[in-house]
Structure 1
Protein backbone atom coordinates (compact mmCIF):
# COMPACT_ATOMS: atom_id res chain seq x y z
CA UNK A 1 0.00 0.00 0.00
CA UNK A 2 1.48 3.35 -1.09
CA UNK A 3 1.92 6.05 1.51
CA UNK A 4 -0.22 9.15 1.12
CA UNK A 5 1.91 12.20 0.42
CA UNK A 6 1.87 14.68 3.28
CA UNK A 7 0.51 18.15 2.77
CA UNK A 8 -2.58 20.25 2.45
CA UNK A 9 -5.33 19.65 -0.10
CA UNK A 10 -5.28 23.00 -1.89
CA UNK A 11 -6.44 23.41 -5.48
CA UNK A 12 -5.76 26.28 -7.85
CA UNK A 13 -3.32 27.99 -10.20
CA UNK A 14 -0.69 30.43 -8.95
CA UNK A 15 0.66 32.81 -11.58
CA UNK A 16 4.14 33.17 -10.15
CA UNK A 17 6.43 35.97 -11.26
CA UNK A 18 9.51 33.76 -11.17
CA UNK A 19 12.66 35.58 -10.07
CA UNK A 20 16.00 35.13 -11.79
CA UNK A 21 18.25 32.48 -10.28
CA UNK A 22 15.50 29.93 -9.68
CA UNK A 23 14.98 26.92 -11.91
CA UNK A 24 11.33 26.19 -12.62
CA UNK A 25 11.53 23.11 -10.39
CA UNK A 26 13.03 25.13 -7.53
CA UNK A 27 10.26 27.71 -7.88
CA UNK A 28 7.60 24.98 -7.76
CA UNK A 29 9.13 23.45 -4.62
CA UNK A 30 9.28 26.87 -2.93
CA UNK A 31 5.60 27.52 -3.74
CA UNK A 32 4.62 24.03 -2.63
CA UNK A 33 6.36 24.64 0.70
CA UNK A 34 4.66 28.03 1.17
CA UNK A 35 1.27 26.44 0.55
CA UNK A 36 2.14 23.20 2.35
CA UNK A 37 0.48 21.64 -0.71
CA UNK A 38 0.23 17.93 -1.27
CA UNK A 39 0.85 18.28 -5.00
CA UNK A 40 2.31 20.96 -7.30
CA UNK A 41 3.68 21.27 -10.83
CA UNK A 42 4.25 23.84 -13.57
CA UNK A 43 2.93 24.15 -17.12
CA UNK A 44 6.10 25.07 -19.00
CA UNK A 45 9.60 25.75 -17.75
CA UNK A 46 11.59 28.98 -17.71
CA UNK A 47 15.39 29.03 -17.77
CA UNK A 48 16.98 29.98 -14.43
CA UNK A 49 18.18 33.36 -15.75
CA UNK A 50 14.69 34.21 -17.07
CA UNK A 51 11.92 35.91 -15.09
CA UNK A 52 8.19 36.20 -15.43
CA UNK A 53 5.04 34.15 -15.59
CA UNK A 54 5.28 30.56 -14.45
CA UNK A 55 1.81 29.06 -13.93
CA UNK A 56 2.02 26.63 -11.01
CA UNK A 57 -0.81 24.14 -10.61
CA UNK A 58 -1.62 23.03 -7.08
CA UNK A 59 -3.63 19.95 -6.20
CA UNK A 60 -6.33 18.96 -8.69
CA UNK A 61 -5.41 21.91 -10.92
CA UNK A 62 -2.45 19.78 -12.02
CA UNK A 63 -4.93 17.75 -14.08
CA UNK A 64 -5.34 20.77 -16.36
CA UNK A 65 -1.59 21.27 -16.92
CA UNK A 66 -1.27 19.00 -19.96
CA UNK A 67 -4.00 20.95 -21.74
CA UNK A 68 -2.32 24.28 -20.99
CA UNK A 69 0.99 23.35 -22.64
CA UNK A 70 -0.37 24.36 -26.05
CA UNK A 71 -0.91 27.98 -24.96
CA UNK A 72 0.78 30.85 -26.76
CA UNK A 73 3.26 32.91 -24.76
CA UNK A 74 4.56 36.48 -24.87
CA UNK A 75 8.14 37.42 -24.00
CA UNK A 76 10.20 40.56 -23.60
CA UNK A 77 13.77 39.81 -24.67
CA UNK A 78 17.02 41.79 -24.65
CA UNK A 79 19.59 40.51 -27.10
CA UNK A 80 23.21 41.68 -26.98
CA UNK A 81 24.49 41.76 -30.56
CA UNK A 82 28.14 41.20 -31.41
CA UNK A 83 28.74 38.24 -29.10
CA UNK A 84 27.31 34.73 -29.08
CA UNK A 85 27.69 32.27 -26.22
CA UNK A 86 27.75 28.51 -25.85
CA UNK A 87 24.29 28.52 -24.25
CA UNK A 88 22.74 31.38 -26.21
CA UNK A 89 22.35 33.45 -23.04
CA UNK A 90 24.37 35.14 -20.30
CA UNK A 91 25.08 31.85 -18.55
CA UNK A 92 27.40 30.57 -21.30
CA UNK A 93 30.92 31.39 -22.41
CA UNK A 94 31.54 33.68 -25.37
CA UNK A 95 32.26 31.54 -28.43
CA UNK A 96 32.03 34.10 -31.25
CA UNK A 97 32.45 37.85 -31.68
CA UNK A 98 31.39 39.81 -34.73
CA UNK A 99 31.10 43.52 -35.48
CA UNK A 100 27.64 45.05 -35.29
CA UNK A 101 26.86 46.94 -38.50
CA UNK A 102 25.21 50.36 -38.39
CA UNK A 103 21.50 49.60 -38.10
CA UNK A 104 18.44 51.80 -38.21
CA UNK A 105 15.06 51.02 -36.72
CA UNK A 106 13.43 50.53 -40.13
CA UNK A 107 16.06 47.94 -41.05
CA UNK A 108 15.57 46.12 -37.75
CA UNK A 109 11.77 46.16 -38.07
CA UNK A 110 12.04 44.72 -41.56
CA UNK A 111 14.31 41.94 -40.30
CA UNK A 112 11.95 41.05 -37.47
CA UNK A 113 8.98 40.99 -39.85
CA UNK A 114 10.67 38.17 -41.76
CA UNK A 115 10.20 35.93 -38.73
CA UNK A 116 6.43 36.38 -38.42
CA UNK A 117 4.33 33.33 -39.25
CA UNK A 118 5.47 29.72 -39.26
CA UNK A 119 9.25 29.33 -39.18
CA UNK A 120 11.75 26.53 -38.74
CA UNK A 121 14.02 26.46 -35.70
CA UNK A 122 16.90 24.15 -34.91
CA UNK A 123 16.66 23.48 -31.15
CA UNK A 124 19.74 24.56 -29.18
CA UNK A 125 22.03 21.98 -27.64
CA UNK A 126 21.32 23.53 -24.26
CA UNK A 127 17.72 22.36 -24.11
CA UNK A 128 15.73 19.61 -22.42
CA UNK A 129 15.01 17.78 -25.67
CA UNK A 130 16.37 14.26 -25.74
CA UNK A 131 18.69 12.44 -28.12
CA UNK A 132 18.73 8.67 -27.71
CA UNK A 133 17.33 9.06 -24.21
CA UNK A 134 19.82 11.72 -23.10
CA UNK A 135 18.84 15.38 -22.54
CA UNK A 136 20.66 17.59 -25.03
CA UNK A 137 21.96 19.89 -22.28
CA UNK A 138 23.71 16.94 -20.65
CA UNK A 139 25.47 16.10 -23.91
CA UNK A 140 26.37 19.76 -24.40
CA UNK A 141 27.94 19.94 -20.94
CA UNK A 142 30.05 16.93 -21.90
CA UNK A 143 31.31 18.84 -24.95
CA UNK A 144 29.23 16.85 -27.44
CA UNK A 145 27.06 18.16 -30.24
CA UNK A 146 24.55 16.02 -32.14
CA UNK A 147 22.39 16.73 -35.21
CA UNK A 148 18.96 18.20 -34.41
CA UNK A 149 16.00 18.22 -36.73
CA UNK A 150 14.38 21.61 -37.41
CA UNK A 151 11.02 22.14 -35.75
CA UNK A 152 8.13 24.30 -36.93
CA UNK A 153 7.01 27.05 -34.56
CA UNK A 154 4.75 30.04 -35.06
CA UNK A 155 5.62 33.66 -34.37
CA UNK A 156 2.27 35.37 -33.96
CA UNK A 157 3.71 38.87 -33.49
CA UNK A 158 7.14 40.44 -33.02
CA UNK A 159 8.11 44.06 -32.56
CA UNK A 160 11.03 46.28 -31.64
CA UNK A 161 10.74 47.81 -28.19
CA UNK A 162 14.13 49.54 -28.09
CA UNK A 163 17.43 49.66 -29.95
CA UNK A 164 20.57 51.04 -28.34
CA UNK A 165 23.61 49.60 -30.05
CA UNK A 166 24.41 46.80 -29.41
CA UNK A 167 21.30 45.86 -27.36
CA UNK A 168 18.06 45.03 -29.13
CA UNK A 169 14.92 44.75 -27.01
CA UNK A 170 11.96 43.06 -28.65
CA UNK A 171 8.56 41.65 -27.70
CA UNK A 172 7.37 38.40 -29.23
CA UNK A 173 4.19 36.34 -28.99
CA UNK A 174 4.78 32.78 -30.10
CA UNK A 175 3.59 29.20 -30.04
CA UNK A 176 4.75 26.54 -27.61
CA UNK A 177 8.19 25.11 -28.30
CA UNK A 178 9.69 28.41 -29.49
CA UNK A 179 13.26 28.98 -28.29
CA UNK A 180 13.74 32.72 -27.79
CA UNK A 181 17.51 32.21 -27.52
CA UNK A 182 17.52 30.68 -30.99
CA UNK A 183 15.21 33.39 -32.30
CA UNK A 184 17.59 36.09 -31.05
CA UNK A 185 20.55 34.34 -32.70
CA UNK A 186 18.68 34.01 -35.99
CA UNK A 187 17.61 37.66 -35.93
CA UNK A 188 21.22 38.71 -35.34
CA UNK A 189 22.40 36.64 -38.32
CA UNK A 190 19.79 38.33 -40.50
CA UNK A 191 21.22 41.67 -39.34
CA UNK A 192 24.78 40.58 -40.16
CA UNK A 193 26.07 39.80 -36.68
CA UNK A 194 25.64 37.32 -33.81
CA UNK A 195 23.95 37.61 -30.42
CA UNK A 196 23.02 36.13 -27.10
CA UNK A 197 20.17 36.85 -24.71
CA UNK A 198 21.03 39.16 -21.85
CA UNK A 199 17.56 39.17 -20.33
CA UNK A 200 14.34 37.26 -20.89
CA UNK A 201 10.99 37.89 -19.26
CA UNK A 202 7.79 35.97 -19.93
CA UNK A 203 4.98 38.48 -19.83
CA UNK A 204 2.07 36.12 -20.11
CA UNK A 205 0.83 32.64 -20.91
CA UNK A 206 -2.58 32.64 -22.56
CA UNK A 207 -5.25 33.14 -21.30
CA UNK A 208 -3.66 34.76 -18.24
CA UNK A 209 -2.84 38.46 -17.91
CA UNK A 210 0.51 39.95 -16.95
CA UNK A 211 -1.17 41.97 -14.19
CA UNK A 212 -2.27 38.74 -12.44
CA UNK A 213 1.31 37.66 -11.63
CA UNK A 214 2.51 37.62 -8.04
CA UNK A 215 6.08 37.51 -6.74
CA UNK A 216 7.55 35.00 -4.31
CA UNK A 217 7.97 37.63 -1.60
CA UNK A 218 4.29 38.57 -1.87
CA UNK A 219 3.25 34.92 -1.65
CA UNK A 220 5.51 34.46 1.37
CA UNK A 221 3.94 37.50 3.08
CA UNK A 222 0.45 36.15 2.42
CA UNK A 223 1.50 32.73 3.75
CA UNK A 224 2.83 34.36 6.92
CA UNK A 225 -0.65 35.80 7.44
CA UNK A 226 -2.38 32.54 6.49
CA UNK A 227 -3.90 34.18 3.39
CA UNK A 228 -1.91 32.60 0.58
CA UNK A 229 -5.00 30.97 -0.96
CA UNK A 230 -6.21 34.47 -1.90
CA UNK A 231 -3.55 34.52 -4.64
CA UNK A 232 -4.88 31.42 -6.40
CA UNK A 233 -6.81 31.33 -9.65
CA UNK A 234 -9.54 28.63 -9.96
CA UNK A 235 -8.27 25.14 -10.94
CA UNK A 236 -9.66 25.49 -14.47
CA UNK A 237 -8.58 29.12 -14.98
CA UNK A 238 -6.13 28.13 -17.72
CA UNK A 239 -8.99 26.63 -19.75
CA UNK A 240 -11.25 29.68 -19.67
CA UNK A 241 -11.91 29.41 -23.41
CA UNK A 242 -13.41 25.92 -23.03
CA UNK A 243 -17.22 25.73 -22.98
CA UNK A 244 -18.92 24.80 -19.71
CA UNK A 245 -21.35 21.90 -19.39
CA UNK A 246 -23.54 22.00 -16.28
CA UNK A 247 -24.88 18.68 -14.95
CA UNK A 248 -27.29 17.81 -12.19
CA UNK A 249 -28.99 14.82 -10.69
CA UNK A 250 -28.29 11.43 -12.26
CA UNK A 251 -26.16 12.94 -15.03
CA UNK A 252 -23.89 14.57 -12.44
CA UNK A 253 -23.60 11.30 -10.55
CA UNK A 254 -22.78 9.32 -13.70
CA UNK A 255 -20.05 11.74 -14.79
CA UNK A 256 -18.63 11.82 -11.26
CA UNK A 257 -18.08 8.06 -11.53
CA UNK A 258 -16.41 8.36 -14.94
CA UNK A 259 -19.42 7.16 -16.93
CA UNK A 260 -20.52 8.81 -20.21
CA UNK A 261 -23.53 11.12 -20.26
CA UNK A 262 -25.67 11.37 -23.39
CA UNK A 263 -27.85 14.15 -24.77
CA UNK A 264 -25.44 16.96 -23.86
CA UNK A 265 -26.27 20.31 -25.48
CA UNK A 266 -22.74 21.47 -26.24
CA UNK A 267 -20.68 21.58 -29.43
CA UNK A 268 -18.24 18.70 -30.01
CA UNK A 269 -14.89 19.17 -28.32
CA UNK A 270 -13.27 19.60 -24.94
CA UNK A 271 -15.38 21.08 -22.13
CA UNK A 272 -15.28 21.94 -18.45
CA UNK A 273 -17.91 20.09 -16.49
CA UNK A 274 -19.64 21.58 -13.45
CA UNK A 275 -22.10 20.06 -11.01
CA UNK A 276 -24.10 21.27 -8.05
CA UNK A 277 -20.97 21.64 -5.93
CA UNK A 278 -18.60 23.15 -8.48
CA UNK A 279 -16.03 21.76 -10.90
CA UNK A 280 -16.50 18.03 -11.58
CA UNK A 281 -13.79 17.61 -14.18
CA UNK A 282 -12.88 17.88 -17.83
CA UNK A 283 -14.68 16.06 -20.59
CA UNK A 284 -15.10 15.72 -24.32
CA UNK A 285 -18.37 15.95 -26.22
CA UNK A 286 -18.64 13.71 -29.29
CA UNK A 287 -20.48 14.48 -32.51
CA UNK A 288 -23.46 12.45 -31.28
CA UNK A 289 -23.70 14.57 -28.08
CA UNK A 290 -22.11 12.01 -25.76
CA UNK A 291 -20.05 13.50 -22.92
CA UNK A 292 -17.03 11.41 -21.98
CA UNK A 293 -14.88 12.06 -18.92
CA UNK A 294 -11.21 12.89 -19.52
CA UNK A 295 -10.19 14.11 -16.06
CA UNK A 296 -12.21 13.88 -12.85
CA UNK A 297 -11.58 16.44 -10.12
CA UNK A 298 -11.41 15.24 -6.55
CA UNK A 299 -12.21 18.58 -4.96
CA UNK A 300 -14.01 18.55 -1.61
CA UNK A 301 -17.25 20.46 -1.88
Structure 2
Protein backbone atom coordinates (compact mmCIF):
# COMPACT_ATOMS: atom_id res chain seq x y z
CA UNK A 1 0.00 0.00 0.00
CA UNK A 2 1.39 3.41 -1.00
CA UNK A 3 2.29 5.80 1.81
CA UNK A 4 0.08 8.85 2.07
CA UNK A 5 2.02 12.08 1.52
CA UNK A 6 2.02 14.30 4.58
CA UNK A 7 1.17 17.97 4.58
CA UNK A 8 -1.70 20.39 4.23
CA UNK A 9 -4.26 20.18 1.45
CA UNK A 10 -3.84 23.75 0.18
CA UNK A 11 -4.44 24.88 -3.38
CA UNK A 12 -3.35 28.02 -5.21
CA UNK A 13 -0.27 29.81 -6.53
CA UNK A 14 2.73 31.32 -4.78
CA UNK A 15 4.92 33.54 -6.96
CA UNK A 16 8.63 33.47 -6.16
CA UNK A 17 11.24 35.94 -7.40
CA UNK A 18 13.88 33.28 -7.91
CA UNK A 19 17.47 34.31 -7.16
CA UNK A 20 20.51 33.13 -9.12
CA UNK A 21 22.40 30.09 -7.93
CA UNK A 22 19.51 27.75 -7.11
CA UNK A 23 17.51 25.29 -9.17
CA UNK A 24 13.79 25.61 -9.81
CA UNK A 25 13.23 22.27 -8.08
CA UNK A 26 15.00 23.52 -4.95
CA UNK A 27 12.70 26.57 -4.90
CA UNK A 28 9.62 24.33 -5.11
CA UNK A 29 10.94 22.20 -2.24
CA UNK A 30 11.51 25.33 -0.16
CA UNK A 31 7.94 26.53 -0.80
CA UNK A 32 6.47 23.12 -0.02
CA UNK A 33 8.35 23.05 3.29
CA UNK A 34 7.48 26.66 4.21
CA UNK A 35 3.76 26.10 3.60
CA UNK A 36 3.73 22.49 4.81
CA UNK A 37 2.00 21.74 1.51
CA UNK A 38 1.17 18.21 0.48
CA UNK A 39 1.74 18.85 -3.22
CA UNK A 40 3.62 21.50 -5.23
CA UNK A 41 5.15 22.02 -8.66
CA UNK A 42 6.33 24.88 -10.86
CA UNK A 43 5.14 26.28 -14.19
CA UNK A 44 8.28 26.49 -16.29
CA UNK A 45 11.89 25.82 -15.32
CA UNK A 46 14.43 28.61 -14.97
CA UNK A 47 18.13 27.80 -15.32
CA UNK A 48 20.00 27.91 -11.98
CA UNK A 49 21.70 31.21 -12.83
CA UNK A 50 18.48 32.84 -14.11
CA UNK A 51 16.31 35.03 -11.89
CA UNK A 52 12.71 36.20 -11.85
CA UNK A 53 9.22 34.76 -11.91
CA UNK A 54 8.87 31.17 -10.79
CA UNK A 55 5.19 30.43 -10.23
CA UNK A 56 4.72 27.55 -7.78
CA UNK A 57 1.44 25.63 -8.01
CA UNK A 58 0.02 24.10 -4.84
CA UNK A 59 -2.41 21.21 -4.53
CA UNK A 60 -5.18 21.24 -7.13
CA UNK A 61 -3.53 24.23 -8.87
CA UNK A 62 -0.94 21.79 -10.25
CA UNK A 63 -3.70 20.73 -12.68
CA UNK A 64 -3.61 24.24 -14.19
CA UNK A 65 0.18 24.28 -14.78
CA UNK A 66 -0.13 23.51 -18.53
CA UNK A 67 -2.12 26.71 -19.08
CA UNK A 68 0.63 28.84 -17.50
CA UNK A 69 3.34 26.92 -19.34
CA UNK A 70 1.55 27.57 -22.65
CA UNK A 71 1.02 31.29 -21.94
CA UNK A 72 3.27 34.09 -23.19
CA UNK A 73 6.22 35.05 -21.01
CA UNK A 74 8.80 37.82 -21.09
CA UNK A 75 12.55 37.80 -20.47
CA UNK A 76 15.14 40.55 -20.16
CA UNK A 77 18.65 39.27 -20.84
CA UNK A 78 22.15 40.55 -21.45
CA UNK A 79 24.07 38.99 -24.33
CA UNK A 80 27.86 39.10 -24.41
CA UNK A 81 29.03 39.69 -27.97
CA UNK A 82 32.27 38.31 -29.38
CA UNK A 83 32.28 34.97 -27.60
CA UNK A 84 30.51 31.64 -28.04
CA UNK A 85 30.46 29.13 -25.16
CA UNK A 86 29.67 25.43 -25.09
CA UNK A 87 26.66 26.07 -22.82
CA UNK A 88 25.53 29.27 -24.58
CA UNK A 89 25.80 31.10 -21.26
CA UNK A 90 28.53 32.53 -19.03
CA UNK A 91 28.98 29.26 -17.13
CA UNK A 92 30.46 27.46 -20.12
CA UNK A 93 33.86 27.34 -21.75
CA UNK A 94 34.61 29.83 -24.52
CA UNK A 95 34.78 27.86 -27.78
CA UNK A 96 34.99 30.68 -30.33
CA UNK A 97 35.82 34.40 -30.38
CA UNK A 98 35.48 37.28 -32.81
CA UNK A 99 36.69 40.91 -32.84
CA UNK A 100 33.58 41.99 -34.75
CA UNK A 101 31.18 44.27 -32.87
CA UNK A 102 28.05 45.14 -34.88
CA UNK A 103 26.46 48.54 -34.35
CA UNK A 104 22.95 49.05 -32.98
CA UNK A 105 21.40 49.37 -36.43
CA UNK A 106 22.79 46.00 -37.50
CA UNK A 107 21.56 44.37 -34.30
CA UNK A 108 18.06 45.78 -34.67
CA UNK A 109 17.93 44.63 -38.28
CA UNK A 110 18.98 41.09 -37.30
CA UNK A 111 16.38 40.84 -34.52
CA UNK A 112 13.58 40.78 -37.09
CA UNK A 113 14.70 37.32 -38.16
CA UNK A 114 13.86 35.99 -34.71
CA UNK A 115 10.28 37.28 -34.48
CA UNK A 116 7.15 35.31 -35.36
CA UNK A 117 7.13 31.57 -35.99
CA UNK A 118 10.74 30.42 -35.89
CA UNK A 119 12.59 27.12 -35.62
CA UNK A 120 15.08 26.86 -32.77
CA UNK A 121 17.73 24.24 -32.01
CA UNK A 122 17.99 23.77 -28.21
CA UNK A 123 21.39 24.26 -26.55
CA UNK A 124 23.59 21.18 -26.15
CA UNK A 125 23.31 21.72 -22.40
CA UNK A 126 19.51 21.49 -22.13
CA UNK A 127 16.87 19.21 -20.65
CA UNK A 128 15.83 17.87 -24.06
CA UNK A 129 15.82 14.08 -24.08
CA UNK A 130 18.10 12.23 -26.52
CA UNK A 131 17.74 8.44 -26.59
CA UNK A 132 15.99 8.61 -23.23
CA UNK A 133 18.70 10.70 -21.56
CA UNK A 134 18.88 14.44 -20.89
CA UNK A 135 21.04 16.28 -23.42
CA UNK A 136 23.01 18.07 -20.69
CA UNK A 137 24.16 14.74 -19.26
CA UNK A 138 25.51 13.64 -22.64
CA UNK A 139 27.09 17.06 -23.16
CA UNK A 140 28.87 16.84 -19.80
CA UNK A 141 30.40 13.57 -20.99
CA UNK A 142 31.77 15.39 -24.03
CA UNK A 143 29.22 13.99 -26.49
CA UNK A 144 28.11 16.35 -29.27
CA UNK A 145 24.54 15.85 -30.45
CA UNK A 146 22.55 16.86 -33.50
CA UNK A 147 19.44 18.17 -31.73
CA UNK A 148 16.29 18.64 -33.78
CA UNK A 149 14.97 22.16 -34.31
CA UNK A 150 11.73 22.99 -32.51
CA UNK A 151 9.03 25.54 -33.33
CA UNK A 152 8.80 28.68 -31.19
CA UNK A 153 6.51 31.70 -31.33
CA UNK A 154 8.35 34.94 -30.58
CA UNK A 155 5.93 37.81 -30.05
CA UNK A 156 8.59 40.50 -29.70
CA UNK A 157 12.38 40.85 -29.50
CA UNK A 158 13.72 44.31 -28.73
CA UNK A 159 17.09 45.96 -28.14
CA UNK A 160 16.55 47.98 -24.95
CA UNK A 161 20.10 48.95 -23.97
CA UNK A 162 23.73 48.89 -25.16
CA UNK A 163 25.91 49.35 -22.06
CA UNK A 164 29.11 48.98 -24.11
CA UNK A 165 30.30 47.50 -27.39
CA UNK A 166 30.57 44.01 -25.86
CA UNK A 167 27.06 43.83 -24.41
CA UNK A 168 23.45 44.22 -25.54
CA UNK A 169 20.34 44.06 -23.34
CA UNK A 170 17.35 42.49 -25.06
CA UNK A 171 13.73 41.89 -24.12
CA UNK A 172 11.89 38.90 -25.56
CA UNK A 173 8.24 37.91 -25.30
CA UNK A 174 7.65 34.36 -26.46
CA UNK A 175 5.51 31.27 -26.16
CA UNK A 176 6.18 27.82 -24.76
CA UNK A 177 9.51 26.07 -25.02
CA UNK A 178 11.84 28.93 -25.90
CA UNK A 179 15.53 28.87 -25.00
CA UNK A 180 16.89 32.37 -24.47
CA UNK A 181 20.41 30.95 -24.67
CA UNK A 182 19.65 29.68 -28.17
CA UNK A 183 18.37 33.13 -29.20
CA UNK A 184 21.65 34.73 -28.07
CA UNK A 185 23.71 32.01 -29.78
CA UNK A 186 21.83 32.28 -33.07
CA UNK A 187 21.81 36.09 -33.01
CA UNK A 188 25.59 36.06 -32.59
CA UNK A 189 25.93 33.73 -35.55
CA UNK A 190 23.60 35.88 -37.67
CA UNK A 191 25.70 38.94 -36.85
CA UNK A 192 28.96 37.08 -37.48
CA UNK A 193 30.33 37.91 -34.04
CA UNK A 194 29.26 35.02 -31.76
CA UNK A 195 27.32 35.64 -28.51
CA UNK A 196 26.15 34.03 -25.31
CA UNK A 197 23.79 34.91 -22.44
CA UNK A 198 25.50 36.64 -19.55
CA UNK A 199 22.43 37.25 -17.36
CA UNK A 200 18.74 36.40 -17.64
CA UNK A 201 15.58 37.46 -15.82
CA UNK A 202 11.98 36.35 -16.42
CA UNK A 203 9.93 39.47 -15.76
CA UNK A 204 6.49 37.94 -16.24
CA UNK A 205 4.88 34.61 -17.08
CA UNK A 206 1.21 34.55 -18.03
CA UNK A 207 -0.64 36.42 -15.25
CA UNK A 208 2.33 36.42 -12.84
CA UNK A 209 4.70 39.40 -12.48
CA UNK A 210 8.19 39.53 -10.98
CA UNK A 211 7.19 42.39 -8.67
CA UNK A 212 4.56 40.08 -7.13
CA UNK A 213 7.22 37.52 -6.27
CA UNK A 214 8.52 36.77 -2.78
CA UNK A 215 12.24 36.40 -2.16
CA UNK A 216 13.55 33.25 -0.52
CA UNK A 217 14.44 35.40 2.49
CA UNK A 218 10.81 36.51 2.79
CA UNK A 219 9.64 32.92 2.50
CA UNK A 220 12.06 31.81 5.22
CA UNK A 221 11.00 34.67 7.50
CA UNK A 222 7.28 33.87 7.25
CA UNK A 223 7.50 30.08 6.91
CA UNK A 224 4.78 28.08 8.67
CA UNK A 225 2.78 31.23 9.48
CA UNK A 226 -0.50 32.74 8.22
CA UNK A 227 1.56 35.63 6.81
CA UNK A 228 2.87 33.35 4.06
CA UNK A 229 -0.58 31.89 3.41
CA UNK A 230 -1.80 35.43 2.73
CA UNK A 231 0.41 35.57 -0.40
CA UNK A 232 -1.21 32.52 -2.01
CA UNK A 233 -3.17 33.47 -5.13
CA UNK A 234 -6.32 31.54 -6.09
CA UNK A 235 -6.14 28.42 -8.22
CA UNK A 236 -8.40 30.19 -10.72
CA UNK A 237 -5.63 32.66 -11.68
CA UNK A 238 -4.02 29.82 -13.59
CA UNK A 239 -7.10 29.55 -15.81
CA UNK A 240 -7.38 33.16 -16.96
CA UNK A 241 -6.39 32.26 -20.54
CA UNK A 242 -9.50 30.08 -20.87
CA UNK A 243 -13.12 31.27 -21.24
CA UNK A 244 -15.23 30.83 -18.11
CA UNK A 245 -18.63 29.17 -18.06
CA UNK A 246 -20.88 28.88 -15.02
CA UNK A 247 -22.18 25.73 -13.38
CA UNK A 248 -25.70 25.06 -12.29
CA UNK A 249 -25.85 23.84 -8.70
CA UNK A 250 -27.05 20.43 -9.84
CA UNK A 251 -24.07 20.15 -12.25
CA UNK A 252 -21.30 20.42 -9.66
CA UNK A 253 -21.36 16.81 -8.44
CA UNK A 254 -21.65 15.42 -11.98
CA UNK A 255 -18.67 17.41 -13.20
CA UNK A 256 -16.54 16.52 -10.19
CA UNK A 257 -17.26 12.87 -10.94
CA UNK A 258 -15.99 13.42 -14.49
CA UNK A 259 -19.40 13.36 -16.17
CA UNK A 260 -20.82 15.88 -18.69
CA UNK A 261 -23.24 18.39 -17.21
CA UNK A 262 -25.15 21.54 -18.26
CA UNK A 263 -23.41 24.92 -17.93
CA UNK A 264 -24.28 28.53 -18.69
CA UNK A 265 -22.07 30.01 -21.41
CA UNK A 266 -21.90 33.13 -23.55
CA UNK A 267 -19.79 33.64 -26.66
CA UNK A 268 -18.21 30.20 -26.46
CA UNK A 269 -17.73 28.07 -29.58
CA UNK A 270 -18.66 24.42 -29.85
CA UNK A 271 -15.69 22.26 -28.84
CA UNK A 272 -13.78 25.15 -27.22
CA UNK A 273 -11.79 24.42 -24.07
CA UNK A 274 -13.27 26.27 -21.08
CA UNK A 275 -13.35 26.18 -17.31
CA UNK A 276 -16.50 25.96 -15.23
CA UNK A 277 -17.07 27.81 -11.97
CA UNK A 278 -19.64 27.69 -9.19
CA UNK A 279 -19.73 30.59 -6.71
CA UNK A 280 -16.43 31.75 -8.17
CA UNK A 281 -14.62 28.46 -7.55
CA UNK A 282 -13.21 26.31 -10.35
CA UNK A 283 -15.02 22.99 -10.70
CA UNK A 284 -13.62 21.56 -13.93
CA UNK A 285 -11.89 22.19 -17.24
CA UNK A 286 -13.16 20.60 -20.40
CA UNK A 287 -14.75 20.90 -23.81
CA UNK A 288 -17.95 22.90 -24.30
CA UNK A 289 -20.47 21.07 -26.47
CA UNK A 290 -24.00 22.26 -26.99
CA UNK A 291 -24.74 23.57 -23.52
CA UNK A 292 -22.74 20.94 -21.67
CA UNK A 293 -19.21 20.76 -20.33
CA UNK A 294 -17.37 17.51 -20.99
CA UNK A 295 -14.67 17.56 -18.29
CA UNK A 296 -11.03 16.63 -18.88
CA UNK A 297 -9.75 17.87 -15.48
CA UNK A 298 -11.74 18.24 -12.27
CA UNK A 299 -10.88 20.11 -9.07
CA UNK A 300 -11.68 18.60 -5.70
CA UNK A 301 -11.15 20.79 -2.62
Same fold, judged at TM 0.5 (above): yes
C-alpha distance in structure 1 between counterparts of 2:152 and 2:281, whole Å? 37
Per-residue CA distance 1:85-120 (angstroms, 9 max, x = gap): 11111111111111133x332222112122211112
TM-score (normalised: structure 2): 0.93
What does residue 45 of structure 2 align with? Answer: 45
CA contact (8 A) 1:219 1:231 kept: no
SS at match of 2:226: coil
What does residue 299 of structure 2 align with? Answer: 297
C-alpha distance in structure 1 between counterparts of 2:130 and 2:61, whole Å? 31
SS at match of 1:29: helix
SS at match of 2:67: helix
C-alpha distance in structure 1 between counterparts of 2:279 and 2:107, whole Å? 55
SS at match of 1:282: strand
SS at match of 1:236: helix
What does residue 238 of structure 1 align with? Answer: 238
What does residue 283 of structure 2 align with? Answer: 280
Per-residue CA distance 1:57-94 (angstroms, 9 max, x = gap): 01110011123221111100101111111111111111
Q: Which runs of 5+ in 1 are unaligned?
A: none
C-alpha distance in structure 1 between counterparts of 2:218 and 2:161, whole Å? 30
C-alpha distance in structure 1 between counterparts of 2:228 and 2:260, whole Å? 37
Per-residue CA distance 1:182-225 (angstroms, 9 max, x = gap): 10011112222111111000111113233322222222223264
Map 1:162-241 → 2, pairs under 5 A: 162-163=161-162, 164-223=164-223, 225-241=225-241
What does residue 122 of structure 2 align with? Answer: 123
* 1:264 positional shift: 4.3
C-alpha distance in structure 1 between counterparts of 2:97 and 2:121, whole Å? 21
Larger mean CA deviation between 203-212 and 62-71 belongs to: 203-212
* 1:42 positional shift: 0.7
C-alpha distance in structure 1 between counterparts of 2:161 and 2:279, whole Å? 52
Aligned residues: 297
Larger mean CA deviation between 242-251 and 64-73 belongs to: 242-251
Q: Which runs of 5+ in 2 are unaligned?
A: none
What does residue 94 of structure 1 align with? Answer: 94
CA contact (8 A) 1:126 1:137 kept: yes
C-alpha distance in structure 1 between counterparts of 2:74 and 2:85, whole Å? 24
- Computed over aligned residues only, the root mean square deviation of the Cα atoms, in angstroms, reads 1.7
Larger mean CA deviation between 135-144 and 266-275 belongs to: 266-275
Cα 1:4–1:224, aligned 2, differ >3 Å: closer, same or farther? closer
Query: 1:25 and 2:28 equivalent?
Result: no
Larger mean CA deviation between 263-272 and 164-173 belongs to: 263-272
C-alpha distance in structure 2 between counterparts of 1:209 and 1:277, whole Å? 23
Larger mean CA deviation between 24-33 and 220-229 belongs to: 220-229
